[in-house]
Amino acid sequence: MKNHLEIIKKLPLWNKREVVIKKLNGGMTNVNYLVCDGKKKYVLRFAPKSNSLLGLKRKREIYNMNIASSLGIGPKVIKFFPQYNLLIVTYIEGKDFSVADARKQAHIKSLAKLLKKLHQGPKSQDKYNPFQTIRSYIDIVEEKKSWLPKNIKKILEELS
Q: Dump pLDDT digits (tens) for 22-43.
A: 999 877 788 999 999 988 999 9
pLDDT computed for residue 93 by the predictor:
92
**69 Cβ partners below 8 Å, 6+ apart?**
75, 76, 77
In 10 A of CB 86, how many CB atoms? 21
Q: Which of 87-91, 129-133, 143-147 has the lowest mean pLDDT?
A: 129-133
pLDDT computed for residue 109 by the predictor:
96
Residue 132 in 3-state DSSP? helix
- Averaged confidence pLDDT in the chain: 88
pLDDT computed for residue 130 by the predictor:
76
For the residues 134-156, what does the mean pLDDT come to? 84
Angle at 68 between CA 66 and CA 1, to 5 degrees: 65
Q: Quote the CA–CA distance of 160 and 155 in Å, as a whole number.
A: 9
**DSSP structural state of residue 44:** E
User: Binning pLDDT at 50, 70 and 90, where does residue 80 land?
Assistant: very high
Query: pTM of the predicted model, to two decimals?
Result: 0.78
The percentage of residues in the chain with a pLDDT greater than 70, rounded to a whole number, is 95
User: Binning pLDDT at 50, 70 and 90, where does residue 51 land?
Assistant: low
**155 Cβ partners below 8 Å, 6+ apart?**
149
Q: Which of 19-23, 60-64, 78-82, 122-126 has the lowest mean pLDDT?
A: 122-126
pLDDT computed for residue 54 by the predictor:
67
Residues 21, 2 contacting (CB under 8 angstroms):
no
**DSSP structural state of residue 139:** H
